[in-house]
Amino acid sequence: MFLTDSVRKLIRLALAEDIGRGDCTTDLIVAADAQANGQIWIKQAARVAGTPLVEAVFHTLDPALQVTVHVPDGDDAAERVIVCEVAGNARALLYGERTALNFLGRLSGIATLTREAVERVRGTGVKILDTRKTTPGWRSLEKYAVRMGGGHNHRFGLDDMILLKDNHIALAGGVSEALALAHRSNALSLKTEVEVDTLEQLELALEAGADVILLDNMDTGRLRQAVQQTRGRARLEASGNMTLARIREVAETGVDYISMGALTHSAVSVDVGMDIELTADRRGMRE
């Protein structure tokens, strides 16, 4: 599960950021012992992601709160659907409302955009990958949302694969030189990927034994040429300004992967909201 210590720390940070010295409005208006039910809505068709965060937010504030999930992560919600219900102390519901909705809306937005990308390439065999273009501190959450949308995670960080990008190649003196250095020093036998932007560089990468080759900012015609030139000698990843409008034609060139930074840096949050009602005749007002 992705609710690691770092994620729980992020939740506490987000709550502290929002609550600050205390919710002056709620504490003046709502009795400390008032009980309430809250319904969390998604107001548009979407792929749901983030319900474990909703539960964790409210349980951080009050472990006695009861959270019921009606639409689990990875499922699609129709327009105007109750995703979760929360019952318990009314103040705790109000304290956590915005933080819980921020997590749910953001992650569902990423999952929804990823689902659309996956649908655009269905039947081609291409896998949609994310990138490291994530919100600082949110990477594990945003990559989780990509998975909930049907996409696949590229590397999580700098430590889980060798990816030789343009600056590495420039500092090493070229594609062949960079790959030779990487292979010579790869004590952990990590997968090696190299970025190229010309067909000449592609051939050098193939000759040097790259496992995966990232074809950077190539037009569709050159991508097709790259696939033909490679002849199955390495896996190919198309990257650079990939949009929903373009990815179907890119997938049909025969590449293995399409990576899209937009899945995380350009996803629009889903419209979510929460309605709260007291559970008893007593209105919960302070006397």
Closest listed residue to residue 51, CA positions, set 66, 68, 73:
73
Question: Does 195 participate in catalysis according to the annotation?
Answer: yes
Residue 166: phi and psi, rounded to 5, are -55, -40
Measure the CA–CA gap between 237 and 227, rounded to whole angstroms: 10
Measure the CA–CA gap between 240 and 225, rounded to whole angstroms: 17
Question: Does 98 participate in catalysis according to the annotation?
Answer: yes
Closest listed residue to residue 286, CA positions, set 23, 24, 34:
34
Choice among 193, 195, 237, 256 that is catalytic: 195
Choice among 43, 132, 133, 246 that is catalytic: 133
Choice among 9, 122, 165, 233 that is catalytic: 165
Question: Does 127 participate in catalysis according to the annotation?
Answer: no
Closest listed residue to residue 46, CA positions, set 110, 103, 100, 98:
110
Question: Does 9 participate in catalysis according to the annotation?
Answer: no
Question: How long, in residues, is the chain?
Answer: 287
Choice among 98, 132, 147, 224 that is catalytic: 98
Question: Does 43 participate in catalysis according to the annotation?
Answer: no
- Look up residue 74 and give its amino acid: G
CA distances in angstroms from 203 to 170, 179, 261, 276, listed in the order given: 17, 13, 26, 62
Residue 56: phi and psi, rounded to 5, are -65, -40
Indicate which residues carry an active-site annotation. Answer: 98, 133, 165, 195, 216
